Amino acid sequence: MNQIAPQPGIMEIALYQGGKASVEGVSNVIKLSSNENPFGPSEAAQEAVRRAAREMHRYPSTDHAELRAAIAEVHGLDARQIICGVGSDEIIHFLCQAYAGPGDEVIHTEHGFAMYRISALAAGATPVEVPEQERVTDVDAILAAAGPKTKLVFLANPNNPTGTMIGLAEIERLAEGLPPQAILVLDGAYAEYVEGYDGGAALAGSRSNVVMTRTFSKLYGLGGMRVGWGYGSQEIIDVLNRIRGPFNLSTVALAAAEAAIRDTAYVERCRSENTRLRNWLAEALAEHGVPSDASTANFVLARFGSPEEAAACDAFLQSEGLIVRRVAGYNLPAALRITVGDEPSCRRVAHVIGRFKAGER
Ligand SMILES: Cc1ncc(COP(=O)(O)O)c(C=O)c1O
């Protein structure tokens, strides 16, 4: 008998399905499936990468002091309370590894990001899915589900793939009402897209049971560089640093992220273009009979009449060289998540969906 076996929970993990990047037989595709910045990285970030490439033979910094200082300066935070990771995925992973294990529960919402479940299972903990209200986080449902076994509560705000968000007063009520051993993780992967929203930074800075995670993969256009960060009490950040690999971020990735966050003019331009094009896309889809919830992120969750119609529209889009995201795995089989692209891409996706709704298949 084979006695080699993985830890409990590992075999329950379904492999993460990333957004498709190509369609067989179709060239020049437009990829609107992974919520990437359609304008790419800033010139400053590209230049920083070119410069850092000359130092590739050197090991990178272990404490990420320069990047943490840049993040702290731009966001008005305490650099000692920041940890950087290989994408915010790694911060999510550290949190589960450090705070949850067999017998513990990790709460995520009904349509929450897939990595919460994956990281909870990888740590041997039990993921607990809590219903949302019409694709919006339901604080009362989370509070009702939280108990003595709850160690972590993951909340993406804005949420992916719904695009909806809840206000800070509701988040504060949630943090206040959780059992004392539980940490509320506010995932702010899309926080930068929301004008005037700090992603929960002030809350994470003042409450010992709140951690905020952020990423360079979306608005900053660095998905391929894999840089994210977390912000919380010094005690929690100290715990997470103990399990972080000393050289988890490359010299090149660190340089790109630092330049990207300091290029505030570029960030602002990308943010305002996203808002303009997202609103245009949502309205254009609605005119074609495809509703969506008011999105606060860089994508729109387009709702169709049935799972079959969503699948047929996805196939039609692909045949026209447009790749969007099926979200059946997020309990949303009748929806397609469409990343807000540049203006020609938004016009093209709206036009093709219009043709589909008019009966063309
Ligand atoms: C809600 C949410 N959190 C976290 C992530 C992870 O981002 P990254 O690991 O690229 O920082 C994503 C990426 O899609 C996301 O949608």
Q: Is the CB of 228 under 6 A from ligand 1?
A: yes
Q: Is the CB of 109 under 6 A from ligand 1?
A: no
Q: pLDDT band for position 262 (50/70/90)?
A: very high
Residue 223 CA: nearest ligand 1 atom is 10
Domain ranges of the chain: 10-40+265-357, 44-263
Q: pLDDT band for position 18 (50/70/90)?
A: confident
Helix/strand/coil for 230: strand
Q: Is the CB of 89 under 6 A from ligand 1?
A: yes
DSSP E strands in 67-209: the ranges are: 82-85, 105-109, 126-130, 150-156, 183-187
- The confidence score (pLDDT) of residue 20 equals 79
Residue 112 CA: nearest ligand 1 atom is 1
Q: Which of 17-26, 98-107, 112-121, 267-276 has the lowest mean pLDDT?
A: 17-26
Residue 218 CA: nearest ligand 1 atom is 10
- The confidence score (pLDDT) of residue 141 equals 98
- The confidence score (pLDDT) of residue 361 equals 77
Rounded mean pLDDT, 90-102: 98
With the most atoms of ligand 1 within 8 angstroms of its CB, the residue from 187, 211, 296 to mutate is 187
Measure the CA–CA gap between 155 and 5, rounded to whole angstroms.
32
With the most atoms of ligand 1 within 8 angstroms of its CB, the residue from 16, 115, 225, 327 to mutate is 115
- The confidence score (pLDDT) of residue 19 equals 77
Taking 90 as the threshold, does the pLDDT of residue 296 lie above it? yes
**CA 160 to centroid of ligand 1, rounded, Å:** 9
Please answer whether residues 181 and 151 qualify as being in contact, where contact means their C-beta atoms are separated by less than 8 angstroms: yes
Q: What is the pTM of this model?
A: 0.96
Nearest CA to ligand 1 atom 16: 160
Average pLDDT, the chain: 96
**CA 212 to centroid of ligand 1, rounded, Å:** 13
Please answer whether residues 230 and 68 qualify as being in contact, where contact means their C-beta atoms are separated by less than 8 angstroms: no
Taking 90 as the threshold, does the pLDDT of residue 88 lie above it? yes
Please answer whether residues 300 and 163 qualify as being in contact, where contact means their C-beta atoms are separated by less than 8 angstroms: yes
**CA 109 to centroid of ligand 1, rounded, Å:** 15
What φ, ψ does residue 9 adopt, rounded to 5°? Answer: 100, -30
Helix/strand/coil for 321: coil
Q: Which residue has the tokens 């979200």?
A: 327
Please answer whether residues 70 and 286 qualify as being in contact, where contact means their C-beta atoms are separated by less than 8 angstroms: no
Rounded mean pLDDT, 158-171: 97
Enter the CATH code of domain 44-263: 3.40.640.10
Nearest CA to ligand 1 atom 13: 189
**CA 234 to centroid of ligand 1, rounded, Å:** 23
**CA 189 to centroid of ligand 1, rounded, Å:** 6
Q: pLDDT band for position 23 (50/70/90)?
A: confident
**Token pair recorded at residue 123:** 């740590």
Report, in this order, helix, strand and coil percent for the chain, each rounded to 5: 40, 15, 40
- The confidence score (pLDDT) of residue 104 equals 98
**CA 187 to centroid of ligand 1, rounded, Å:** 8
**CA 114 to centroid of ligand 1, rounded, Å:** 9
Whole-number percent of the chain with pLDDT over 90: 94
Measure the CA–CA gap between 303 and 305, rounded to whole angstroms.
7
Q: Is the CB of 188 under 6 A from ligand 1?
A: no
**CA 115 to centroid of ligand 1, rounded, Å:** 8
In tens, the pLDDT along 182-219 reads 999 999 999 999 999 999 999 999 999 999 999 999 99
- The confidence score (pLDDT) of residue 17 equals 80
- The third-level CATH classification (topology) of the domain covering 10-40+265-357 is Aspartate Aminotransferase, domain 1 (3.90.1150)
Comparison of pLDDT for 355 and 18, the residue scoring more:
355
With the most atoms of ligand 1 within 8 angstroms of its CB, the residue from 84, 160, 248 to mutate is 160
**Among 235, 100, 115, residue whose Cα is nearest residue 181:** 100
What DSSP element (H or E) covers 240? Answer: helix 234-243
- The confidence score (pLDDT) of residue 360 equals 85
